[in-house]
Amino acid sequence: MTSAIRGVSGAGARYIEYVHRDLDREVTAIGGHYRFDKEAQITFRGQPVLYLSGYALYDSACCGVGGCGYALVQGFVEKWKYRNDPEGFAISRVEEIDEPNAQAEIGRLIKAKEMVQQVIFRTWLSQGDNAT
C-alpha cells in the first residue's frame, strides 16, 4: 500500500543505512570518471530527502567525449547521522522512495535547484530503472 502523505511504501517500507563518505573523490571507470561534489537535502511533503549531486565525464572512451550532471536520491531521512561505522563515517537511516509520482515530483524539485540533467533514485539498485 502506498502512503498518500509520503508517496512511499507503507507497511513494506525498505530502509537503507547510508554511510556519509567523503565527497570530491574521483572514481575512475572504463570510459572516464565520476564524482559526487555535494550532499544535500530538500523537503518533500514535510519530509527531508537526502541526495548527492555530481557529474560524470566520459573522456577516455573510444567513441568520443561527453558528460552529464546528475543527482542520486538516497531517500527520506528517518535518522540523521545517528551512529558511526567502524571507520568513523557517520551513518543515517533513510527510507527508499519507490512511488513513481513522488519520484517524478522530487526529480523536478532537484532539477530546479541543481545543475543536473538526470535524477536517479537508489531504488534502481534493486528494482530496475527509476531515473527521471
3-state secondary structure of 45: coil
- What pLDDT does residue 61 have? 77
Which residue carries 512511488 as its cell? 99
Q: What is the mean pLDDT of the chain?
A: 85
Q: Tell me the mean pLDDT in the region 38-65.
A: 92
Per-residue pLDDT tens over the stretch 83-112:
999 999 999 999 999 999 999 999 999 999
- What pLDDT does residue 30 have? 87
Rg (CA), the chain: 16
Largest pairwise CA distance in the chain: 48
**129 has pLDDT over 50:** no
The answer for 81, left when phi > 0, alpha when psi is -120 to 50, beta otherwise, is: left
- What pLDDT does residue 6 have? 40
% of the chain residues with pLDDT over 90: 62
Can you give the pTM of this predicted structure? 0.81
- What pLDDT does residue 59 have? 84
Confidence band (pLDDT; 50, 70, 90) for 41?
very high
* Dist. CA 121–CA 132, nearest whole Å: 9
- What pLDDT does residue 37 have? 94
* Dist. CA 132–CA 130, nearest whole Å: 7
